[in-house]
Structure 1
Amino acid sequence: MTPEEAPWWTNAVVYQVYPRSFQDSDGDGIGDLGGILQRLDHLADLGVDVLWLSPVYPSPQADNGYDISDYQDIDPLFGTLAQLDELITALHARGMKLLMDLVVNHTSDEHPWFVESRSSPASPKRDWYWWRPPRDGLAGGDPGAEPTNWQSFFSGSTWEYDEASGEYYLHLFDRKQPDLNWENPAVRQAVYAMMRWWLDRGVDGFRMDVINMISKDLRGRDGAPDGHLHDGPPIPGTALGDGSASYICGPRIHEFLNEMHREVFAGRPGALLTVGEMPGVTVEEARLFTDPARAEVDMVFQFEHVGLDHGSSKWDVRPLRMRSLKASFGRWQAGLADVGWNSLYWDNHDQPRAVSRFGDDSPEFRRDSATCLATLLHLHRGTPYVYQGQELGMANYPFATVDGFRDVESVNHFGTAMVAGQDPAAVLTALRRMSRDNARTPVQWDGSPHAGFTTGTPWLPVNPDHVAWNAAAQRDDPSSVLAHYRQLIALRHEEPVVALGDFAMLLPDHDDVYAFTRTLDDRVLLVVCNLSRTPYRLTDLLPHARDGRWVLGNLPDEDPELLRPWEARVLSIG
């Protein structure tokens, strides 16, 4: 496509706000809408185009807001609908858009829909959720009586027994997050009406949480040894009994998303955005989901690259092989080159901090590796996402004991691991590296005791390194991580080749250096990133780099011959 034909989001950058940890405005230690309003100039200065707001709806907070009890209000913890309206107005005044988190695979068990569904097997909303009796001949509550042997993403069974009715309900995540039954047309219409209500209010689109799980093949079958019930490639991370092939891109998923587009988005004025978060999605499926002619979603948010350091599970942490990362990124770049679109990210609220995971958070290389990783990501084809604090080089928190964790996934994993007799020290080591709480510590605005996040006691402690690593210290420093992010975002806005250029991988078998070109018409950019502590002679690896003209780099005093540890360089060729 030409720059004139390209949708606006191809050269946009999205910034994710996890409101609980962004900025507290009322001193209760929890971030809120008032705090976001206070910090909008930070986002405007950064240059981002879209604010993706993680859930702020009423919720019991079993999964930090991803368990919603009312889709059409704001939790008092975060503020009011009036403040949400004020946020929309303030963003639009700055030329930014608001992307709301849409969580419709499941609700809270305190949502009125589920309360009614649970009230009686004869309830008119009973089939708004997935209810099943115990297996034949077995008593409810017996693990063998569960309708399938599927395992929850948050440990344990996906089935919760309801004593009052003698049946089980399905929850792919926490037991307080029952799954909606999208086979029921009334459920779908209720969801679409809610989405239209938000768009009418001025919201510019949705990031759709685990949206490829809404279609389920629930015919009482157990998982096969690899979790698959159909022909096709294995899904990374699946295991015995997880049943994922029955709900990852299920049989009616394309039908549902096309219907959603038709019922909610078609014919609306304005530049909207739909992002489908899709664990386990393949490149081939992503082409279908994001083909404009099919009218489903604008882009996918996939997880292949953040599973490359997983062994048998995310807690079985393995070293990341650079060749594997290149193969994954290269496959997605090639697969969506002519049709479709991908989201680009290292960090989000579900992933540990990239500088600690994929980079080098030692004092010597933290700044350089943070900016190197950013350069690599932002120069790919796709829409880049910046997770709050990433633009400051925020790192994992130094958790001392298991008592410091708050995330339900982490807490449940530790409990399950202890029952299984695993070594507590080894489990704690894995939690320190991979827990979602690493991404949820408060944003580090300044060097004051609570990093400028709150005047009260923060709900999660602030990382002790905030004294040195904070926005105030970086704001006017031209060599800071923050300054480099500003440059990367500006480059995407200014250079059509960054958004739309063809991608070609170079040095696919090199263990440390990641290099590629982006080409649009006669404009060619060469991107070279050294993801290691080992220096390399650049011209030995890529002789034509000698003639390249500097466009952007993360280290000063460029040596045309030497690629230093964690150096990233963008050159114009030809």
Structure 2
Amino acid sequence: MTTKLRHRNASSSSWLPLLAILATSALWTSGSIALGQTPQPSTATAAAHNDGPWWKHAVLYEIYPRSFQDSNGDGIGDLNGITQRLDYLKSLGIDAIWIAPMYPSPQVDFGYDISDYQAVDPQYGTLADMDHLIAEGKQRNIRVVLDMVLNHTSDKHQWFIDSASSRTNPKHDWYVWNDGVPANGPNVTAYQKRFGHEGRVPPNNWVSGFGGSAWEWVPAVHQFYYHKFYKQQPDLNWRNPAVEKACFDAMRFWLDRGVAGFRLDAIPTLFEDPQLRNEPEAGGINAQGDPNLKDIYTSNLSEVHGVIRRMRAMVEKYPGNRVLIGETYLPDTAALNEWYGGAKHDELQLPMDMLLGFHGDHDKLDATRFRKLINEAETQLNGSQPLFVFDNHDNVRSWDRYADGDHNQAIARLLAAVLLTSRATALMYYGEELGMVTSTPTRKEDVKDPIGITGWPKEKGRDGERTPMQWDDSKNAGFSESSTTWLPVPSNYSTINVKAEELEPDSLLNWHKQLISMRRDNPTLRDGKQVMLDESNPSVLSYVREGVAGNPAIVVALNFTDQPQTISLDPSKAKVSGNTVNTLLTNAPGLKQTTSLQNITLPPYASWIGQIGSNK
């Protein structure tokens, strides 16, 4: 969940699933399948596969469960559907799947409003189905990472029901409550007065990320509660130690069941300014008609880092290199470094670097900017592992954000090359490998995402990037047998789908498979230091991955423009000698026989990856 850029219940498992958990957990810690270890494709690459925790070189894959595969014909994806498609994910080369929230929820924000942290929403299946998915994933060496929403719960969670029932309820202080201020008091703005009750108004100008005041009145307690997002998503009070304990207990519940870790939703927003100071105005109004504000008092407060350090210590008590991934929209690399714990490396293992892949409403290919940010990730994170990402469930797909209308396929391949040849853990979003496009509703009455309803037509919501996965050219793209699906399948599914692209050697899907395979099997691409080349070139991004353990260095050259670019590269800066190369992968037929780093002419938006003939 983010506002930065867009802008059948089983209460417990049966003995049978529990035995399955214990059995598969034994596999991970026995010699059969070691958690943190990947299958050895060959003796030659064996050494490269024992070079750190599993997530260090992983390709992660986000699944929006409503949209991946429907197994029971109700038009909504589910956990058993994900299990059915694990073999596809294995063929793609995926190491772990991140599943967006599948917990019980009123679905106001499609699962990001959780009403029970320790169960599965009936529309997605049961706890037994989740146990089965985890077990089947482990058989294929695909780990399961769950989305954990800690900033807020649903207003239907029992915690909040109790909290809102009385000021004397033991859970009242589990959320952020305030009496408000007199409506006729000093410095009360007209905006605050719009949300007044019983002569009182919200204590400040804070705005909900999804429209309206961030404060909601509850007559039963004659107080306002704070909600960073929808009013049905009240913020937890992380200054109360009981909240931390309860949330950590919920995480332990899933860690005990074998999940490989968590992606932490909106994690910088756990704390708010205790003085409740007004946010500075940033000028203008948003799609909902609210003033645009800076968020210096409601996001990235220093107290959050203590929570993350304690969370890291808790997670590290589990075997198998469990991982914490953060949804971290931050202003710069220095701020990102803090989320690793800086030189202490004691906070998140993988805070998302959103600086590279998401930088505003009008993303563009800029070789200079990409070079700067990749180089900062290589040199300014105290040796921590970067995590790059170009797509997720909250933003227009990269296909559309970076496209120029004429070279879309080539641009998609270039972005994939950046993602999968950089020295970073890679995070993909379902359908990215196919070239799925954003299918934004054209009528307000078709919108499912509430933010698109309240913000129409300026904000059309996030339905467009959440459409069903396109598997084949059959009914509903093979996603569901239902007469209707929760969101319509995009019209291009007859040609843009897994089945068609698997059969086409030069498809975008097979381009991703080749990149992932090289990344997995080539020690240099896995571990080699990344050094920028031709650093003053505004049109071409080029870099070398230094050779590892006697393996040759690899050079990557990417044309970020719609015009041919001729380059000559000198890899000596990376302590690499030799100018003879052989091409490993390119989408430019004329470059397949390239043998020299001198006078390489890259066609528009071409990607070229070559191996240097000798290195020292």
Q: Distance in 2 between matches of 1:54 and 1:489?
A: 23
Task: Give the CA deviation at 1:409.
Answer: 2.6
Task: Give the CA deviation at 1:357.
Answer: 1.1
Would the alpha carbon gap of residues 138 and 218 (structure 1) be closer, same or farther in structure 2, given more than 3 Å must change?
Answer: farther
TM-score (norm 2): 0.81
Q: Distance in 2 between matches of 1:411 and 1:277?
A: 25
Q: 2:174 is matched by which residue type in structure 1? A: W
Q: Which residue of 1 aligns with 2:585?
A: 552
Task: Give the CA deviation at 1:527.
Answer: 1.0
Which of 102, 123, 131 matches 1:77?
123
Task: Give the CA deviation at 1:477.
Answer: 2.2
Would the alpha carbon gap of residues 319 and 558 (structure 1) be closer, same or farther in structure 2, given more than 3 Å must change?
Answer: closer
Q: Which residue of 2 aligns with 1:171?
A: 227
Q: 2:303 is matched by which residue type in structure 1? A: R
Q: Distance in 2 between matches of 1:128 and 1:265?
A: 23
The answer as to 2:253 corresponding to 1:197 is: yes
* Greater CA drift, 75-84 or 541-550: 541-550
Q: Distance in 1 between matches of 2:245 and 2:569?
A: 61
Q: Distance in 2 between matches of 1:347 and 1:328?
A: 17
Q: Distance in 1 between matches of 2:546 and 2:277?
A: 49
Task: Give the CA deviation at 1:507.
Answer: 4.4
Q: Distance in 1 between matches of 2:389 and 2:275?
A: 36
Q: Which residue of 1 aligns with 2:317?
A: 267
Q: Distance in 1 between matches of 2:302 and 2:82?
A: 40
Q: Which residue of 2 aligns with 1:394?
A: 436
Q: Distance in 2 between matches of 1:98 and 1:571?
A: 34
Q: Which residue of 2 aligns with 1:332?
A: 377
Structure 1 residues 36-115: aligned runs within 5 Å: 36-115=82-161
Is the radius of gyration larger for structure 1 or structure 2?
Answer: 2
* Greater CA drift, 196-205 or 160-169: 160-169
Which of 451, 468, 473 matches 1:447?
473
Task: Give the CA deviation at 1:308.
Answer: 2.3
Task: Give the CA deviation at 1:14.
Answer: 0.6
Task: Give the CA deviation at 1:546.
Answer: 6.5
Per-residue CA deviation, residues 517-540 of structure 1 (Å, 9 max, x unaligned), is: 222456432111123332222449
Task: Give the CA deviation at 1:403.
Answer: 3.2
TM-score (norm 1): 0.87
Q: Which residue of 1 aligns with 2:38?
A: none
Q: Distance in 1 between matches of 2:293 and 2:128?
A: 42
Q: Distance in 1 between matches of 2:536 and 2:120?
A: 50
Which of 384, 388, 405 matches 2:426?
384
Q: Distance in 1 between matches of 2:398 and 2:180?
A: 44
Per-residue CA deviation, residues 306-350 of structure 1 (Å, 9 max, x unaligned), is: 44233xxxxxx47564433433333333322x4322211111111
In the alignment of these two chains, the number of paired residues is 537
The answer as to 2:333 corresponding to 1:304 is: no
Which of 295, 302, 305 matches 1:254?
305
Would the alpha carbon gap of residues 296 and 112 (structure 1) be closer, same or farther in structure 2, given more than 3 Å must change?
Answer: same
Task: Give the CA deviation at 1:458.
Answer: 1.0
Which of 281, 284, 289 matches 2:334?
284
Task: Give the CA deviation at 1:297.
Answer: 1.5
Would the alpha carbon gap of residues 294 and 558 (structure 1) be closer, same or farther in structure 2, given more than 3 Å must change?
Answer: closer
SS of 2:354's equivalent? coil
Per-residue CA deviation, residues 24-54 of structure 1 (Å, 9 max, x unaligned), is: 1111111111211111111011111101111
The answer as to 2:595 corresponding to 1:568 is: no
For the 8 Å contact 1:327–1:508, the answer to whether it is kept is no
For the 8 Å contact 1:359–1:531, the answer to whether it is kept is no
Q: Which residue of 1 aligns with 2:40?
A: none
Would the alpha carbon gap of residues 268 and 178 (structure 1) be closer, same or farther in structure 2, given more than 3 Å must change?
Answer: same
Q: Which residue of 2 aligns with 1:33?
A: 79
Would the alpha carbon gap of residues 449 and 509 (structure 1) be closer, same or farther in structure 2, given more than 3 Å must change?
Answer: farther
Q: Distance in 2 between matches of 1:241 and 1:562?
A: 46
Q: 2:203 is matched by which residue type in structure 1? A: P
Q: Which residue of 1 aligns with 2:279?
A: 223
Task: Give the CA deviation at 1:280.
Answer: 2.2
Would the alpha carbon gap of residues 461 and 508 (structure 1) be closer, same or farther in structure 2, given more than 3 Å must change?
Answer: farther
For the 8 Å contact 1:308–1:324, the answer to whether it is kept is no
Which of 352, 362, 365 matches 2:407?
365
The answer as to 2:333 corresponding to 1:323 is: no
Quick one: percent identity of the two aligned structures?
Answer: 35
The answer as to 2:556 corresponding to 1:527 is: yes
Structure 2 stretches of 5 or more lacking a match?
1-47, 186-191, 284-289, 595-599
Would the alpha carbon gap of residues 224 and 496 (structure 1) be closer, same or farther in structure 2, given more than 3 Å must change?
Answer: same
SS of 2:554's equivalent? strand
SS of 1:528's equivalent? strand
The answer as to 2:237 corresponding to 1:184 is: no
SS of 1:390's equivalent? coil
SS of 1:304's equivalent? helix
The answer as to 2:492 corresponding to 1:465 is: yes
Q: Distance in 2 between matches of 1:382 and 1:540?
A: 23
Q: 1:483 is matched by which residue type in structure 2? A: N
SS of 1:101's equivalent? strand
Task: Give the CA deviation at 1:15.
Answer: 1.0
Q: 1:443 is matched by which residue type in structure 2? A: M
Which of 411, 430, 453 matches 2:453?
411
SS of 1:30's equivalent? coil
Q: Which residue of 1 aligns with 2:16?
A: none
Q: Distance in 1 between matches of 2:446 and 2:571?
A: 47
Task: Give the CA deviation at 1:138.
Answer: 4.4
SS of 2:217's equivalent? strand
The two structures, once aligned, show a CA RMSD in angstroms of 2.7
The answer as to 2:262 corresponding to 1:209 is: no
Q: Distance in 2 between matches of 1:388 and 1:269?
A: 28
Q: Which residue of 1 aligns with 2:397?
A: 353
For the 8 Å contact 2:104–2:122, the answer to whether it is kept is yes
Q: Distance in 1 between matches of 2:580 and 2:138?
A: 43
Structure 1 stretches of 5 or more lacking a match?
228-238, 311-316, 415-423
* Greater CA drift, 525-534 or 543-552: 543-552
Q: Distance in 2 between matches of 1:178 and 1:281?
A: 26
Moved >6 Å (runs of 4+): 540-546
SS of 2:66's equivalent? helix
For the 8 Å contact 2:547–2:554, the answer to whether it is kept is no
Would the alpha carbon gap of residues 318 and 531 (structure 1) be closer, same or farther in structure 2, given more than 3 Å must change?
Answer: closer
